[in-house]
């Protein structure tokens, strides 16, 4: 079904026609909903039969399996973590003094760094795909479309508003959970910290021992919001290091209106390495060359571009010029439900329309180490390497000889374990029970497969930290009558 969606997208790329009634349905959304309890016990036991845990110090984890750093493959390999830091990545970490007392996890799988979603809008990701009836040539058009306002922005505003349904905490947590079950451990684009500091890392918020988070700035409103004084202040903050990255929506669309935003950015003196371009769909060789000369990264969201504009970036030129390129799903109203699905979108585009422009390894890199580098956190996240944060995901059922391909073609049921800042947050129930990260962890069905997830932090209702996943789903379901997008998507 993903291929169907892409095929339609590529068709639209040619025709630029209206998208009809339902051009990009999320396949199997209902079949994979959490209420689906048709669990195959044999499948569950097979998934975990090749994994085991030997209990030791809870704060020290020694993971064994095929290790993908992602630059190189170590098979068999080990990853040793203590608290929130990676101590060792090697074929054997036995020489590290901490290894002797570690909790040993024989993963039976492939160990990757936690995926890095360099651009998203976390509070929107309870929303299903917006079924728009026409296509657009720049972002201002769909934002002004009365149907967008009625279907997305108005109900979303009521959900979010503290004077309305006041569900912002639930919206953000649900989005983080959606990313977590797909192996993502860092996400960008979260506006609120207070009720969501137990889940995955937010690149633009300072927690999880990640004080550097407040050196990132995000601009979702575009270059039109930047006046000369703001631009001057930004340049000063770039020089001092106060702001390491400035993520801005730019030139989203396929017409001259969208392209001209680049000229505005240039006129403001902001062609700088710290300025990270989200989308850049309208940019051609002249602008991309200037980006390369200024060492500016690009974040590419083809699923969202194809859905709204029927076209995406001149990615052949982007690659030829050697821009630092990351991929992200953007948000669920027009993009893929998670970064793992965006991998599949890029892979299918590459194979069907781009003459195999990207290898499987390059795609994984664009969602891990490149993504971290784009937002200037490559010293902390995006790689399995000594000194980096202990953000790890494990894939079961893959082929150790082809680990990158295995990740790209994987399904949510294969995400065996996700550890953020050294804390196991999600995974197969046997492993999670053995690791017992906290007493509030709960069972969940993802794509008809039993998993365990840790959402609730305490019994303290302040800032809704006592909510379970079930509480969050119930609250969002009551608030959004059309029905929230299930966590289980693209299960087959």
- Which residues of the shown chain bind Zn ion in the complex (CB under 5 A)? 330
Nearest residue (CB) to Zn ion, 138 versus 413: 138
Residue 367 and residue 115 in contact, taking contact as beta carbons nearer than 8 Å: yes
How many C-beta atoms lie closer than 10 Å to residue 227's C-beta?
10
The residues pairing with 451 across neighbouring beta strands, listed in sequence order, are: 444
Helix 302-309 to helix 2-15 angle (10° resolution) is: 50
Using alpha carbons, select from 90, 114, 88, 101 the residue that is nearest to residue 59: 101
Helix 302-309 to helix 339-353 angle (10° resolution) is: 70
- Sign of dihedral through CA atoms 329, 331, 335, 338? positive
Nearest residue (CB) to Zn ion, 44 versus 330: 330
Encoding tokens for residue 168?
């912002």
Using alpha carbons, select from 343, 336, 358 the residue that is nearest to residue 120: 336
To Zn ion, the closest distance from the beta carbon of 335 in angstroms equals 8
To Zn ion, the closest distance from the beta carbon of 328 in angstroms equals 8
Nearest residue (CB) to Zn ion, 259 versus 383: 259
Nearest residue (CB) to Zn ion, 299 versus 441: 299
Alpha-carbon distance of 24 to 305, in angstroms, equals 12
To Zn ion, the closest distance from the beta carbon of 249 in angstroms equals 6
Bridge-based pairing of strands 298-300 and 325-327 is parallel
Return all residues near 171 (Cβ < 8 A) that are at least 6 apart. 122, 123, 124, 125, 126, 159, 160, 476
Nearest residue (CB) to Zn ion, 78 versus 145: 145
Helix (H) or strand (E) holding 74: strand 73-82
Q: Is 154 helix (H, G, I), strand (E, B) or coil?
A: helix
Using alpha carbons, select from 442, 325, 310, 339 the residue that is nearest to residue 24: 310
Nearest residue (CB) to Zn ion, 111 versus 118: 118
CA contacts within 13 A on the Cβ side of 319: 16
Nearest residue (CB) to Zn ion, 222 versus 430: 222
Helix 168-180 to helix 469-479 angle (10° resolution) is: 120
φ, ψ of residue 240 to 5 degrees: the values are -80, -15
How close are the terminal C-alpha atoms of the chain, in Å? 9
To Zn ion, the closest distance from the beta carbon of 478 in angstroms equals 27
Using alpha carbons, select from 285, 238, 244, 282 the residue that is nearest to residue 264: 282
To Zn ion, the closest distance from the beta carbon of 103 in angstroms equals 38
To Zn ion, the closest distance from the beta carbon of 344 in angstroms equals 20
Which residue's Cβ has the minimum distance to Zn ion?
330
Nearest residue (CB) to Zn ion, 170 versus 330: 330
Encoding tokens for residue 386?
């000594």
To Zn ion, the closest distance from the beta carbon of 129 in angstroms equals 15
Nearest residue (CB) to Zn ion, 281 versus 448: 281
To Zn ion, the closest distance from the beta carbon of 242 in angstroms equals 24
Helices (DSSP H) in 183-335: which residue ranges? Answer: 228-240, 256-267, 285-293, 302-309, 315-321
To Zn ion, the closest distance from the beta carbon of 112 in angstroms equals 25
Nearest residue (CB) to Zn ion, 330 versus 342: 330
Using alpha carbons, select from 263, 268, 306 the residue that is nearest to residue 284: 263
To Zn ion, the closest distance from the beta carbon of 440 in angstroms equals 32
Helix (H) or strand (E) holding 168: helix 168-180
To Zn ion, the closest distance from the beta carbon of 181 in angstroms equals 21
Nearest residue (CB) to Zn ion, 330 versus 457: 330
Nearest residue (CB) to Zn ion, 78 versus 330: 330
To Zn ion, the closest distance from the beta carbon of 189 in angstroms equals 7
């Amino acid at each position: 079904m993903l291929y169907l969606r892409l095929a339609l997208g590529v068709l639209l790329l040619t025709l630029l026609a209206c998208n009809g009634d339902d051009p990009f349905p999320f396949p199997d959304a209902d079949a994979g909903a959490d209420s689906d309890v048709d669990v195959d016990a044999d499948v569950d036991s097979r998934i975990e039969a090749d994994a085991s845990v030997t209990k030791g110090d809870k704060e020290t984890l020694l993971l064994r399996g095929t290790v993908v750093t992602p630059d190189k493959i170590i098979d068999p390999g080990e990853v040793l973590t203590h608290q929130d830091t990676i101590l060792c990545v090697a074929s054997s970490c036995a020489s590290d003094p901490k290894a002797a007392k570690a909790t040993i996890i024989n993963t039976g799988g492939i160990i990757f760094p936690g995926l890095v979603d360099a651009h998203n809008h976390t509070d929107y990701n309870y929303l299903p795909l917006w079924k728009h009836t026409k296509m657009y040539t720049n972002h201002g058009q769909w934002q002004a479309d009365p149907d967008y306002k009625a279907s997305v922005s108005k109900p979303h505003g009521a959900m979010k508003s503290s004077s309305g349904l006041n569900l912002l905490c639930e919206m953000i947590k649900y989005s983080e959970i959606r990313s977590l079950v797909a192996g993502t451990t860092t996400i960008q684009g979260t506006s609120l910290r207070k009720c969501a500091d137990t889940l995955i890392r937010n690149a633009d918020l300072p927690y999880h021992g990640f004080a550097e988070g407040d050196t990132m700035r995000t601009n979702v409103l575009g270059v039109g919001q930047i006046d000369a004084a703001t631009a001057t202040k930004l340049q000063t903050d770039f020089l001092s290091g106060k702001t390491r990255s400035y993520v801005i929506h730019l030139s989203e669309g396929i017409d001259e209106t969208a392209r001209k935003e680049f000229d505005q950015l240039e006129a403001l003196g902001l062609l700088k390495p710290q300025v990270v371009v989200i989308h850049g769909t309208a940019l051609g060789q002249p602008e991309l060359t200037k980006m390369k000369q200024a060492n500016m990264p690009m974040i590419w969201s083809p699923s969202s571009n194809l859905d709204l504009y029927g076209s995406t970036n001149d990615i052949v030129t982007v690659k030829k010029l050697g821009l630092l390129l990351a991929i992200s799903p953007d948000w669920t109203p027009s993009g893929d439900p998670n970064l793992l699905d965006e991998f599949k979108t890029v892979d299918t585009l590459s194979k069907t329309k781009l003459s195999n422009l990207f290898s499987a390894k390059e795609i994984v890199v664009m969602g891990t180490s490149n993504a971290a580098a784009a937002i200037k956190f490559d010293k902390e996240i995006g790689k399995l390497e000594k000194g980096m944060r202990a953000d790890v995901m494990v894939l079961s059922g893959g082929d150790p000889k082809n680990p990158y391909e295995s990740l790209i073609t994987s399904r949510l049921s294969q995400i065996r374990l996700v550890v953020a800042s050294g804390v196991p947050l999600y995974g197969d129930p046997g492993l999670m029970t053995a690791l017992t990260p906290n007493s509030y962890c709960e069972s969940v069905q993802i794509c008809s497969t039993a998993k365990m997830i840790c959402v609730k932090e305490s019994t303290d209702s302040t800032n809704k930290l006592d909510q379970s996943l079930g509480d969050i789903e119930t609250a969002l379901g009551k608030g959004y009558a059309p029905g929230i997008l299930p966590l289980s998507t693209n299960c087959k």
